[in-house]
Amino acid sequence: MYVAVKGGERAIDNAHAWLAEERRGDTSVAELSLVQIREQLALAVNRVMAEGSLFDPDLAALAIKQSRGDLIEAIFLIRAYRTTLPRFGYTLPVDTGAMACDRRISATFKDAPGGQVLGPTFDYTHRLLDFKLAAEGEAAEAPTSAPRTEPTPHITEFLQGEDIIEREPMSEAQPGDLTREPMAFPADRSVRLQSLTRGDEGFILGMAYSTQRGYARNHAFVGELRIGTVAVEMEIPELGFAIKIGEVELTECETVNQFKGSKTVPPQFTRGYGLVFGQSERKSIAMALVDRALRWKELGEDNLGAAAQDEEFVLSHSDNIQATGFLEHIKLPHYVDFQSELELVRKLRREAAEAVEQMAAKEAAE
């Protein structure tokens, strides 16, 4: 007999209880602490901060723990939390030229003022599983040296001195904020960059990769990649001047791209820009490539019909919280709509069958 589909409420409560138990796993194994996640899964924490648009390593660690390591779920937790926070104001633009760099490399010059500083990179490791880690050995201490005291100049400044790279236009305009204004197209570069820096790493990576493989190719040199901490300053109205309110870790990538020149502009290099919270190297390079691809119109280039050039396509689909929500909503009941489709298909089939019968009868009569 038909049992009414009652009991949604109890089913949900029980599912949540089971989830909590699964999250904890085997209780004979020590529980993860937030500091362990923050210190030892720092790159996961960075990704959650970057795509969650909230710089707070402790909250990001909590989100990772709560989400059982599902980073998109963790990003969602952070986004939902940050939306409830009051907005006191805006900081001054951060000065990445004054960054205390942990890593700073250029692919365009063998050496440059400030030097090539590899920093803590996977780049030249051999990807061999290190079974020593399974034995929980202490890491050997890394050698140290005195940090640079003077600021590290941007590589593009040297090209700019020669006037061989486009100049970024100076502007006092308020940058857009897609968390406060609905996205509208065409979007200006500030909104595009905001969207890209919050966007899903995998999606941005795929888009950037497609430009490298020939879909709107804009051959990119990594002019510079730097990772480090910068001061965050805010102007306090009562004081009348800016004070430092904290520090954030950032990854900045500036690409140097080719450009043939146009009727009004002599041949010169152009730029792509990536800036991401935390040590997020892959993301910032990918962001710079996609930023550059999206600039075809302002640089007077051809629209090659490539996905990475299509701002509406890229910006509408880069947010993994929107994407995962809509994708997964098809798990929800849709039986009302399915029922109406069922009726329609049955009706169309009935009519088709009748038509065939009539045709056969007519032929038999002839």
Partner 1 sequence: MSDYNFAYLDEQTKRMIRRAILKGLAVPGYQVPFASREMPMPYGWGTGGVQVSAATLTPEDTFKVIDQGADDTTNAVSIRKFFERTAGVATTEETEKASVIQTRHRIPEAELTEDQILVYQVPIPEPLRFLEPRETETRKMHALQEYGLMHVKLYEDISQHGAIATSYAYPVKVSDRYVMDPSPIPKFDNPKMEMAAIQLFGAGREQRIYAVPPYTSVVSLDFEDYPFEASKADHPCDLCAAEDSYLDEVILDDAGNRMFVCSDTDYCRSRREAGHVGRLGEEAAA
- Binding residues for partner 1, rule: CB under 8 A, are 1-2, 4-9, 11-12, 76, 79-80, 82-84, 86, 179-186, 312, 316, 321-322, 324-329, 332-337, 339-344, 347-348, 351
Q: How many other CB atoms are found less than 10 A from the CB of residue 113?
A: 13
* Nearest distance from C-beta of residue 220 to partner 1, angstroms: 27
* Nearest distance from C-beta of residue 311 to partner 1, angstroms: 10
3-class DSSP state of 238: coil
* Nearest distance from C-beta of residue 94 to partner 1, angstroms: 24
* Nearest distance from C-beta of residue 327 to partner 1, angstroms: 7
Helical residues (DSSP H) of the chain, grouped into ranges = 8-24, 34-40, 42-52, 57-66, 71-82, 131-134, 155-161, 189-198, 201-212, 281-294, 311-317, 320-328, 335-365
Q: Is the dihedral of CA 186, 190, 196, 198 positive or negative?
A: negative
Name the residue nearer to partner 1 (CB basis): 129 or 336: 336
- Those residues with Cβ within 8 angstroms of residue 48's Cβ, 6 or more apart along the chain or in another chain: 60, 63, 64, 71, 74, 75, 78
Name the residue nearer to partner 1 (CB basis): 8 or 161: 8
Name the residue nearer to partner 1 (CB basis): 273 or 277: 277
Name the residue nearer to partner 1 (CB basis): 180 or 263: 180
* Nearest distance from C-beta of residue 298 to partner 1, angstroms: 17
Joined together, the tokens standing for residue 118 give 């590899």
The partner residues of 257 in beta bridges, in order of sequence, read: 220, 270
Which one-letter amino acid corresponds to residue 341? E
* Nearest distance from C-beta of residue 280 to partner 1, angstroms: 20
Name the residue nearer to partner 1 (CB basis): 43 or 342: 342
Name the residue nearer to partner 1 (CB basis): 254 or 319: 319
* Rg, Å, the chain Cα set: 27
